[in-house]
Chain A
């Protein structure tokens, strides 16, 4: 990938250069570079295992890079411990919330504010944007629902008054409607002058909120740019690692191998473009293979794959470069698929 273009004109607030991270023998990140400018919402997208969370955790200081540098506000922070990065203004909302389960809601926020920088965010302010929270401040967070826990996790990060907020998979394990609601908070948060670097499997969500996106695949950058500058086809290709000809790449598509076949079922492409479900009943292709596989995985034979998920993918997400959501929507569906499966596997 080419060097990111200077978007803000001046120096980036957060700059990652040629970052390589290993988990044991596995090369989780391979020469990743990115520049996040003040005020941006920078989204890292990619499938499971693409290295997104590793990237965020490395920026937060929880993993040590084998190579490369991380600069924050012009200074090299490679050697800084995680807690020093947090007090310096890089605060992460970790994947899976990671609240202090034996502490109350308020205590969680108080812990977040222990070494807070000066800034607009206070516990009271968090109670204002999440209006349910004040009444339940003395409850243990273990008793909250997933969405509520995620809100507390965000609040805990905000009260530290970060300059860069790292959001790791906000949507993980949450119902789509909850995810929508949490993302709807983002403008209020951004209005206080924060910069956001987020990781998201839910591509349609990421495209909706981001001012810049970067797609990772197996630890490498496969696509980068403003959401308006990339086509859904590009995003899809970058996300799944498909070649220009979609066909051969089908093997890498999710669930395709489990799909009973690709010769029947609605043409997913159309199904997604038009938000109402079952479209045409033919049109083999990659997208269709994918959709079919998903259906098989979910064990809901008979229900056209494009029905629900297609509606979700299409609903509310602005068409990218006016092409419709053909390419992007499968990722939306995929998020649905995974949020379901991750919920059960994490037991949260």
Chain B
């Protein structure tokens, strides 16, 4: 029964990891940008939610309606300016630039907010409540909610990419941006849209994380970025559903690790990550061959 509980908790936590990871995966898949500031952006999303809630008094659960568009717009602008400028100088430059961005964000948060930890929605019945299955399994409403959001986001993204005009353009640009230009497509604009989506999803993840746990300026690189990377690599780079699978595998591994020894929780996740890297470096799903 303990193990069943671990697996259920692990799977549900995987939803959160998938939310973190899908933006990272999208940005890599479309523009070959490994966004090292991705975790910090999630934290920024959390802080923006905090600010929005303080100023407008919107309910925590609905704050995403304001936060996600703000972050998406920020993503578009950042992509069209800083990240595009880095891309024009070569893909490797984006590593340095996003790493720099990560450092800047962290220190700006320390400077202008503070180093304290924050969390969202303390005292909200849905966020802190749970229900029991049998006698030993307690499931938090929040984790179920986050998992559902992750599935909805992935379904929506998949539909958007496969059926919409912009989704088609994103896939075309990911395949061959020069050929896309010859078809009249401004790939920089398409990159901007992809970044907007990535930033929107990471904002959702940041809000979810703020409710699930607590965040501080350094949480982004300490925890979130590494989990997101692990989920992406386990699932397979460039595959959307792979991020969910990767997140779930990571989550379950962590839960089982913590069952063996509480301090082994994180270690167990990274052991699985290493195992996948060694045995199946292309990830568990290889839906799309990398062009």
Q: Which residues of A contact B (CB under 8 A)?
A: 60-62, 81-84, 86-87, 91-92, 94, 98-103, 107-108, 110-112, 114-116, 156-157, 160
The answer to whether A102 touches B178, judged by C-beta atoms less than 8 angstroms apart, is no
Could you tell me if B175 and A94 are in contact, using CB atoms closer than 8 angstroms?
A: no
List of B residues within 8 angstroms of A112 by Cβ = 183
How far, in whole Å, are A28 and B175 apart by their CA atoms in the complex?
A: 28
Q: In this assembly, does B61 line the interface, its C-beta being within 8 Å of a C-beta of chain A? A: no
Interface assignment of B186: CB less than 8 Å from any CB of chain A: yes
Pick the contact of B182 from A94, A107, A108 — CB < 8 Å? A94
A101 to B291, CA, bound (A): 8
* Interface set, chain B 145-191, CB cutoff 8 A to A: 165, 168-169, 171-172, 174-176, 178-187
Pair A114/B165 contact, Cβ less than 8 Å: yes
Which residues on the B side are within 8 Å of A83 (C-beta)?
Answer: 180-187
Q: Could you tell me if A110 and B168 are in contact, using CB atoms closer than 8 angstroms?
A: yes
Chain A residues, CB < 8 A from B171: 100, 102-103, 107
Q: Quick check: A101 and B175 within 8 Å, CB to CB? A: yes
A100 touches B176 (CB 8 A): yes
Minimum CB distance partner of B289 in chain A: A102
Find the A residue at minimum CB distance from B189. Answer: A83
Q: What residues on B are CB-neighbors of A91 within 8 Å?
A: 182-184
Name the CB-closest residue of B to A82. B181
Q: Knowing that A86-B183, A100-B180, A115-B184 are A-B contacts, what are 6 other residue pairs whose CB atoms are under 8 Å apart, sorted by A's residue number?
A: A62-B182, A102-B171, A107-B172, A111-B168, A112-B183, A156-B183
Inter-subunit contact A102/B183 (CB<8 Å): no
| Interface of B: prevailing SS | helix
Also in contact, A114 and B175, with CB within 8 A (given A101-B291, A102-B291): no
- Bound-state Cα–Cα, A87 to B176, Å: 18
Task: Tell me which residues across on chain A come within 8 A of B186, comparing CB atoms.
Answer: 81, 83
Chain B residues within CB distance 8 Å of chain A: 165, 168-169, 171-172, 174-176, 178-187, 288-289, 291
A111 adjacent to B178 (CB under 8 Å): no
B183 touches A115 (CB 8 A): yes
For the complex, what is the distance from the CA of A84 to the CA of B168, rounded to whole Å?
A: 19
Q: Are B180 and A111 in contact (CB under 8 A)?
A: yes
Across-interface contacts of A108 in B (CB, < 8 A): 172
The complex places the Cα of A103 from the Cα of B291 at a distance, in Å, of 12
Interface residue from A100, A114, A160 paired with B179 (Cβ < 8 Å)? A100
Please judge, given known A-B contacts A111-B169, A114-B165, whether A100 and B175 are in contact too, CB under 8 Å.
Answer: yes
Among residues of A, the one whose C-beta sits closest to the C-beta of B175 is A100
Contact of B172 among A82, A94, A111, A157 (CB under 8 A): A111
Report the separation of the CA atoms of residues A83 and B185 in the bound assembly, to the nearest whole angstrom. Answer: 5
* Chain A residues with CB under 8 A of B185: 83, 111, 114-115
Question: Which of the listed residues A86, A100, A107 has the most CB atoms from chain B within 10 Å of its own CB?
Answer: A100
Task: For the complex formed, measure the closest distance between the CB of A104 and the CB atoms of chain B, giving whole angstroms.
Answer: 10
**Closest CB of chain A to B30's CB: distance in Å?**
12
CA distance A91 to B178 in the complex (A): 12
Q: How far is the CA of A81 from the CA of B177 in the complex (A)?
A: 13
Q: Given A103-B168, A103-B172 in contact, is the A82-B182 Cβ separation under 8 Å? A: yes
By the criterion CB–CB under 8 Å, are B172 and A100 in contact? Answer: yes
Chain A residues with CB below 8 A from B291, complex form: 101-102
